[in-house]
Structure 1
Amino acid sequence: MPFEAKKTTLIAGELLTIEDAESLLEWLLKHPRGQLDLTACTHLHAANLQVLLAARPKIAAWPQHAPLATWLHTALN
């Protein structure tokens, strides 16, 4: 599983595939004030981006991978 769930933070792994979008959505729905840590993420499928655009979670940490961080920051802010 590409996620590690803490009490109020979901920590994403390096690669988020289309199959991960449903898990991401379910966690965000169960934790409406939860935060997302994307530090390790280097790639995410567009389905995950759609979940993020719809849910607008608080991003606790942006990806260390600069191109992805810039792209996500622009899309989500």
Structure 2
Amino acid sequence: MSVRRDGDLIRLEGPCPVEEAETLAALLLAHPGIAVEWSGCTGLHTAVVQVLLRLRPPIHGLCGDAFAARWIAPLLNASTDGPSAQGEA
């Protein structure tokens, strides 16, 4: 299983295919504020990325997927408080 709850964390491990997006969303919605640990992740389907970007859980570790670590992690760590984060000019 590539998305699983492990105590106070949700772990993303190995490749996280499209089928895992629903599992991830359900876990995040059922446990508001729970953190995601993704250092064991080797690949993220864009549907999984969309769940992370929409629900914005706290993220632990450096993603094992180089693309996600470089391009997705900064988006997840960006502040959502300012007008530019909401697409306003």
**Could you list the per-position Cα deviations for residues 8-46 of structure 1 after superposition, in whole angstroms to 9, with x for gaps in the alignment?**
201111101010000000000011110001001121110
SS in 2 for 1:47: helix
The DSSP-based 3-state class of the residue aligned with 1:13 is: strand
Q: Is the 8 A contact 1:39 1:63 kept in 2?
A: yes
Range with greater deviation from structure 2 (64-73 or 1-10): 64-73
Count of residue pairs brought into register by the alignment? 77
Percent sequence identity is 32
Asked whether the equivalents of residues 12 and 36 of structure 2 are also in contact (C-alpha less than 8 Å), the reply is: yes
Does the residue aligned with 1:64 lie in a helix, a strand or coil? coil
Relative contact order (C-alpha < 8 Å, sep 6+): which is higher?
A: 1
- TM-score normalised by structure 1 residue count: 0.87
- Whether 1:55 aligns to 2:22 is no
Pair 1:46 & 2:46 matched: yes
Counterpart-to-counterpart distance in 2, 1:39 and 1:53 = 17
5 Å-filtered alignment, 1:1-77, equals 1-76=1-76, 77=78
> What's the secondary structure of 2:41's corresponding residue?
coil
Q: TM-score, normalised by structure 2?
A: 0.77
Task: Give ranges in structure 1 of 5+ residues lacking alignment.
Answer: none
Runs of 4 or more above 3 Å deviation: 64-67
Structure 2 unaligned regions, length at least 5: 79-89
